[in-house]
Structure 1
Amino acid sequence: MSVILTYFNGTLIMPKLGIWNTEPAKHSLFEDAQGLFTGTVLASLGVMLLTKAGLLTGGVAGMAFLLHYAFGISFGLGFFLINLPFYWLAYRRLGIAFTIKTFSAIALLSVLSEYQPKLLEIGYVHPIWAGILGGLLIGMGMLALFRHRASLGGVGILALYLQERFKWRAGLVQMAIDLVILALAFWVTTPYIIFCSVIGAIALNFFIAVNHRTDRYIAM
């Protein structure tokens, strides 16, 4: 079966798709597409868990949550609009390919955050567990996007730029900014919910700080 999948008319099919490659190389178009889709879906599940428990997170997503809880603006719309100014930084510093892939991921997450509750219903989740699981899911989604030269915009773009420019860990940079944003949450929610949100933010950024290392992952 593997021979059939690998060869067709004497042509190597799977390496053309970027599957089973053992040599360092740039990601194929197929790899980028599945990476962006998978990463965004994972992140959207994390957002859904946080929303269900009334939690927040950091970055642009945290800003969108603040607008949602304070003014009733939908998360998807707020997330998409707040990210608009960051595309210029992405284009100038990280290139057109990164900008296009990031825009695609942001647009998909905005759509999924609006329509996913119609496809999946969550009955109950404890706020602390929602923070941990939601943070890890968003972290895994962001890691997948980072490894395909994309992000979920905003602070993620800034963190990636600072890592490439000054070698600062993207996860630690994002954690510092996230804690500032979460401090603003005292205006819209309770200390307990903020506590659970901080746990989620720590889970998210610690996961990225440990796993997002350019010296270990060499594909582009």
Structure 2
Amino acid sequence: MKTTHRWLSILEGCLLVALGLHILNSSGLLISGTAGVGMILLRLTDLSFGQLFFLLNLPFYILAWYTLGRAFTMRTFVSVSLLSILTELMKEYVYLSIHPALSGALGGLLVGFGLIILFRHNASLGGLNILSVYLERRFAIHASRTTLVADILVLVAAIAFLDIGHLIYSLLAFLLLSSVVGRYHRPPKWAQIVVVESKP
């Protein structure tokens, strides 16, 4: 039952993220992390988002395997593969017409809550998610801080591709994603102990 619950939760998390990304893509907006890099590269290649997202994550599995364990790496690989498939299906079968402001709000919230579900079940969506989980477990750096830095880097890169309106709406998605992760994500208990003990 525990295994079934975990994989159902991972599926639900991937569905939320896939829908959030599809909403953002439908309005030409970006999100942070590896997904944001994939959205930028969409403008430079003929590959689909699902293909780009899968390929971008391949190098990060090495870090996950040696630092976060085999179980985490395998769940992350399945999550990334599942998200890649879901985004391809949504591109084919889900048609949306949403104002960019609403897209930014809904997209950021959906991606944020999807990530929370994955983190709680010892999985991630690869890329910078792997890095944020590693930094949290190794150095007790909350995942929301790593997410915020990734947001800024993606936003800076996006200046060359987006007009000011789309940048602002993308920033809204970034802020809501970071807010959700910051408020609802709970680091492992041992990481919290490290933080407490490090205080003077």
> For residue 175 of structure 1, what is the aligned residue in structure 2?
148
67-76 or 160-169, larger mean C-alpha shift: 67-76
Question: Contact 1:55–1:193 at 8 Å: present in 2 too?
Answer: yes
Residue 91 of structure 1 and its aligned partner are, at CA, apart by 0.7
Identity of matched residues, %: 37
Q: C-alpha distance in 2, partners of 1:199/1:189?
A: 14
Residue 119 of structure 1 and its aligned partner are, at CA, apart by 3.0
> Residues 201-220 of structure 1: matches in 2 within 5 Å?
201-214=174-187
Count of aligned pairs between the two proteins = 189
CA-based RMSD: 1.3
What is the TM-score when the length of structure 1 is the normalising length? 0.83
> For residue 192 of structure 1, what is the aligned residue in structure 2?
165
2:51 corresponds to 1:77: yes
The one-letter amino acid of 1:134's match is: G
Q: C-alpha distance in 2, partners of 1:70/1:199?
A: 24
Residue 172 of structure 1 and its aligned partner are, at CA, apart by 1.6
Structure 1: segments with no counterpart, 5+ residues: 1-16, 18-27
Q: Which residue, 130, 134, 159 being the options, matches 1:161?
A: 134
Residue 215 of structure 1 and its aligned partner are, at CA, apart by 6.2
Larger Rg over CA atoms: 1
Q: C-alpha distance in 2, partners of 1:71/1:105?
A: 24
Question: Contact 2:142–2:187 at 8 Å: present in 1 too?
Answer: no
Q: C-alpha distance in 1, partners of 2:50/2:188?
A: 34
Q: Which residue, 100, 103, 121 being the options, matches 1:127?
A: 100
> For residue 121 of structure 2, what is the aligned residue in structure 1?
148
> For residue 33 of structure 1, what is the aligned residue in structure 2?
7
Q: Which residue, 50, 66, 72 being the options, matches 1:98?
A: 72
> For residue 33 of structure 2, what is the aligned residue in structure 1?
59
What is the TM-score when the length of structure 2 is the normalising length? 0.91
Question: Contact 2:136–2:187 at 8 Å: present in 1 too?
Answer: no
Do the aligned partners of residues 215 and 102 (structure 1) sit closer, same or farther apart at CA in structure 2, a change above 3 Å counting? closer
Moved >6 Å (runs of 4+):
none
Structure 2: segments with no counterpart, 5+ residues: 190-200
